[in-house]
């Protein structure tokens, strides 16, 4: 049952290398991207955009807005909040003497001052008709004498004290009705009518926190409304309204296109917004050097000239007043600094945007990359497929960072990578499964190949033993012989080779020496070598007195069925061990070396030498004679000696001649073979031999020699 259920679940994922399942995953990814506001991807998106802001915060070196703060120092000196309106009036008047561009009060005065005449007479009826100063009137006068802007706090529902009729400068809509598009509010809490009438403007203070985090203490402020709709009336936020007052403009303006608010600002100072008029604020770090304590301003420690041609915001920074927000930079800043940053952004034109076309481009890129992965991943090896997936993710993140740094565009690369992951994992999973199946098949094939190779190796080892068994052992063959000594060495470059040597008594008193080298290497050469040795041994016995004729018959016999066109070089000598007379023939082989006392020479074969056997069928070979002297040593070699290589040079005849001249005086045949073999292998410096190495040496001691024969050997 479980196996059947697993088959039902897994089979669709593996069909056609996972492409249909990946297409369904891509369709789901496109749907999630279109409805991203309703998915947890918004948390990932916000985290990415916050990270970009931390990497590249907005430069606040030129800060046209200053903050006069109701901070802990001011509360300690002037008492708890709220302060008497006379104190606030004096503060506004002091700031006004510095000729600021505008003064924005990030606070609301909905009730009369508790020390006003009406409040005092209610508390103390005995005051009767005694005239008392009106603090609210004092504040109203201060507001009227300065370019001041008061604030309102909009609410979704009409609460006690809220009003729907406000004294505000309406926002001018261009291309539509901004009041019907902006974020709607039922009413607002505003200051006293007398204060409203005195101020130059009244603006929205609300700055909504991210709804993705419900805890207001942890909410991150990313978007700030530049305007909102209060009881159907479009109202500007504090920053744009202060700019309007400073420029003495008739109104804040909102550009509308296709039912969406696109820009909000005053005159040429406008910022791109979201559809409902919210600004994605590019935050800069908090500048504590631009925040002045209110008590320092009142007591003259901050000269009013500091406020000249500046925007001045009056707000709260004291922790106990709870007007603090968290920015994408990870800082907790006073809310009044948000309005300061909005003003700076308006003046510099710096804002983050996420236009509709960018979201459409993200969707198109998601489809393009998804289809590209579906087409490419199943065709690639797993390691290249993984590299392709990583490269796609890196490319998306680099595109996002480039868009942010170069154009202040919020490209959502994190969501794209997250949505592409299921597509990629389905494909790479199927690729790994297919690769694993191929690996298993390859392992089975490798195992079969190893078994076949083992069988071949066993057969080659048997062939090697058979081939070596065909070669004579001079130590056993001529045991007790005192007139001469024969030593030999043969090592194949591979398991089997094409070199051979032979030595036997052709007739009583006549020693036959043969050496040959078949063209090529390996098994074909070894088979031809065995045939060559056998044919030569048989035909030489048939013609002991005529080496040339014997060699011609060997050539004819080997050429008869030589379909592979192999040939073999050969040198054959017959030595009368009583007289030292040597009769010899040569078929394309290297001339032997004759060591006589201190003299080293090569036997002349140029007059009698012919081509290798099977190279020129019917060639009339000739023979020659040479008389050996007692103590002479005859060294026969194949080209495995002279053509040995150390990777840079050949061993060569000159090096062999120096070796024979310098190190072999008086050596027996066995010692001479051993020294030459060691010199060749040392010269190769451990490199694998390039050709078969064969040495055959005769030391003729004379007919009367009766010395004990030294140990002779055959090495393979």
**Helix 238-247 / helix 335-348 crossing angle, nearest 10 deg:** 50
- Structure pTM? 0.63
For residue 452, say if its preceding peptide bond is cis, omega within 30 degrees of 0.
no
On the question of pLDDT at 5 being above 80, the answer is no
CATH number of the structural domain 471-715: 3.60.40.10
pLDDT at residue 550 above 50? Answer: yes
Confidence label for 530 from pLDDT (cuts 50, 70 and 90): confident
Tens digit of each residue's pLDDT (9 = 90 or more) over 464-503: 787 788 889 998 999 888 999 999 999 887 777 888 999 9
Cα–Cα distances (Å) from 696 to 54, 240, 410, 414, 542, in that order, read 85, 109, 87, 79, 23
What are the pLDDT digits (tens) for 595-614? 998 889 999 888 888 999 99
Kindly indicate the confidence band of residue 694, based on its pLDDT and cuts at 50, 70 and 90.
Answer: very high
Say which residues have a Cβ less than 8 Å from residue 393's Cβ, sequence separation at least 6. 417, 420
With 80 as the cut, is the pLDDT of residue 17 above it?
A: no
Cα 330 from chain centroid?
A: 31
| Alpha-carbon gap, residue 714 to 716, rounded angstroms | 7
Q: Give the range with max mean pLDDT: 70-84, 526-540, 686-700, 701-715.
A: 70-84
Vertex 298, ends 293 and 302: CA angle to 5°? 60
Tens digits of residue pLDDT in 157-195: 877 666 666 788 889 999 999 989 999 998 888 999 999
- List Cα–Cα distances, 189 to 135, 144, 169, 223, 463, in angstroms: 21, 21, 16, 22, 107
Q: Report DSSP state, residue 610.
A: B
- Identify the band that residue 434 occupies on the pLDDT scale cut at 50, 70 and 90: confident
Q: Is residue 111 pLDDT above 80, yes or no?
A: yes
Taking 50 as the threshold, does the pLDDT of residue 451 lie above it?
A: yes
| Interval 268-306: pLDDT, tens | 999 999 999 999 999 999 998 899 999 999 999 999 999
Beta strands in 588-692 (DSSP E): 593-596, 599-602, 624-627, 632-637
- pLDDT category of residue 716 using cuts at 50, 70 and 90: very low
- CA dist 387 and 393 (Å) reads 10
pLDDT at 309: 93
Cα 211 versus chain centre, distance:
38
Q: How far is CA 179 from the centre of its chain?
A: 52
- pLDDT averaged over every residue in the chain: 86
- With a cut of 90, say whether residue 112 has pLDDT above it: no
250: Cβ–Cβ under 8 A, 6 or more apart, which residues?
169, 172
Beta bridge partners of 515: 501, 571
Number of residues assigned to the chain: 716
Per-residue model confidence as pLDDT tens digits over 506-526: 889 999 999 999 987 777 888
The pLDDT of residue 125:
61
pLDDT, one tens digit per residue, over 193-239 is: 999 999 999 999 986 544 444 344 457 899 999 999 998 899 999 99
The predicted structure's pLDDT at residue 545: 81
Of the listed ranges 34-43, 338-347, 417-426, 699-708, the one predicted with least confidence = 699-708
**pLDDT value for 647:** 80
Tell me the pLDDT band of 708, cut-offs 50, 70 and 90: very low
Mean of pLDDT values over 47-67: 91
**Looking at the predicted structure, is the pLDDT value of residue 453 above 80?**
no
What the block records as the tokens of 114 is 């508790």
DSSP code for 154:
E
Domain spans in the chain, listed from the N-terminal domain onward: 2-52+356-440, 59-348, 471-715
Write out the H or E segment, with its range, that includes residue 255: strand 253-257
Which residues, 6+ apart, have CB-to-CB distance to 686 below 8 Å? none
Express as a percent the part of the chain with pLDDT over 70. Answer: 90
Check residue 590 and give left, alpha or beta (phi > 0: left; psi -120 to 50: alpha).
Answer: beta
What pLDDT is attached to residue 220? 87
Strand partners, 220: 326
Find residue 69's DSSP bridge partners. 293, 315
Backbone phi and psi for residue 205, each to the nearest 5 degrees, phi listed first: -105, -15
Looking at residues 53-62, what average pLDDT do you find?
90
Question: What pLDDT, on the 0 to 100 scale, is given for residue 122?
Answer: 61
């Amino acid at each position: 049952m479980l196996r059947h259920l697993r088959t039902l679940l897994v089979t669709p994922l593996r069909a056609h290398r996972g492409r249909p399942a990946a297409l369904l995953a891509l369709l789901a990814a496109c749907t999630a991207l279109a409805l991203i506001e309703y998915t947890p991807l918004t948390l990932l998106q916000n985290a990415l955009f916050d990270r970009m802001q931390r990497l590249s915060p907005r430069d606040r070196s030129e800060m046209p807005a200053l903050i006069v703060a109701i901070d802990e120092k001011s509360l300690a000196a002037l008492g708890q909040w709220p302060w008497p309106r006379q104190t606030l009036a004096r503060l506004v008047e002091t700031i006004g003497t510095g000729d600021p561009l505008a003064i924005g009060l990030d606070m609301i005065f909905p009730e009369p001052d508790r020390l006003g005449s009406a409040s005092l007479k209610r508390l103390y009826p005995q005051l009767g008709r005694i005239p008392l100063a009106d603090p609210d009137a004092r504040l109203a006068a201060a507001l009227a004498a300065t370019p001041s802007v008061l604030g309102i706090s909009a609410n979704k529902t009409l609460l006690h004290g809220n009003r729907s009729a406000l004294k505000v400068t309406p926002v001018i809509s261009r291309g539509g009705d901004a009041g019907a598009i902006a974020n709607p509010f039922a009413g607002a809490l505003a200051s006293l009518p007398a204060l409203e009438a005195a101020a130059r403007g009244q603006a929205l203070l609300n700055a909504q926190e991210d709804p993705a985090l419900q805890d207001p203490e942890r909410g991150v402020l990313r978007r700030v409304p530049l305007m909102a709709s209060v009881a159907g009336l479009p109202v500007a936020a504090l920053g744009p309204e202060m700019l309007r007052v400073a420029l003495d403009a008739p109104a804040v303006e909102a550009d509308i296109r296709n039912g969406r608010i696109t820009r909000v600002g005053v005159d040429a100072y406008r910022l791109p917004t979201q559809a409902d008029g919210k600004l994605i604020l590019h935050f800069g770090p908090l500048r504590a050097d631009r925040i002045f304590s209110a008590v320092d301003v009142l007591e003259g420690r901050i000269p009013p000239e500091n406020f000249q041609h500046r925007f001045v915001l009056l707000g709260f920074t004291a922790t106990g007043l709870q007007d603090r927000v968290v920015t994408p930079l990870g800082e907790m800043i006073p809310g009044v600094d948000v309005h300061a940053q909005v003003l700076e952004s308006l003046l510099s034109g710096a804002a983050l945007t996420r236009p509709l076309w960018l979201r459409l481009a993200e969707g198109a890129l998601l489809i393009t990359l998804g289809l590209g992965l579906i087409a490419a991943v199943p065709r690639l090896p797993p390691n290249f497929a993984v590299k392709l997936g990583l490269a796609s993710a890196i490319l998306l993140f680099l595109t996002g960072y480039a868009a942010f740094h170069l154009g202040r565009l919020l490209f959502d690369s994190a969501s794209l990578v997250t949505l592409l992951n299921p597509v990629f994992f389905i494909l790479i999973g199927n690729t790994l499964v297919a690769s694993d199946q191929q690996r298993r098949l390859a392992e089975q094939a490798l195992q079969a190949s190893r078994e076949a190779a083992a069988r071949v190796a066993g057969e080659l080892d048997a062939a090697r033993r058979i081939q070596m068994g065909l070669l004579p052992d001079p130590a056993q063959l001529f045991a007790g012989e005192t007139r001469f000594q024969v030593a030999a060495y043969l090592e194949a470059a591979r398991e089997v080779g094409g070199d051979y040597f032979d030595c036997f008594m052709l007739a009583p008193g006549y020693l036959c020496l043969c050496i040959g080298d078949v063209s090529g290497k390996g098994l074909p050469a070894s088979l031809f070598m065995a045939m060559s040795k056998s044919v030569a041994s048989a035909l030489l016995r048939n013609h002991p007195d005529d080496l040339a004729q014997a060699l011609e018959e060997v050539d004819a016999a080997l050429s008869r069925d030589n379909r592979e066109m192999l040939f073999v070089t050969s040198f054959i000598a017959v030595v009368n061990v009583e007289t030292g007379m040597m009769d010899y023939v040569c078929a394309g082989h290297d001339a032997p070396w004759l060591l006589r006392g201190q003299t080293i020479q090569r036997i002349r074969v140029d007059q009698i030498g012919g081509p290798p056997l099977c190279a020129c069928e019917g060639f009339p070979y000739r023979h020659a004679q040479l008389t050996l002297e007692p103590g002479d040593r005859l060294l026969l070699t194949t080209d495995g000696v002279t053509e040995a290589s150390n990777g840079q040079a050949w061993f060569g005849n000159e090096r062999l001649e120096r070796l024979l001249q310098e190190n072999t005086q008086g050596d027996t045949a066995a010692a001479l073979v051993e020294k030459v073999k060691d010199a060749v292998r040392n010269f190769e410096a451990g490199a694998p031999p390039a050709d078969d190495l064969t040495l055959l040496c005769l030391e003729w001691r004379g007919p009367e020699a009766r010395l004990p024969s030294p140990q002779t050997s055959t090495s393979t």
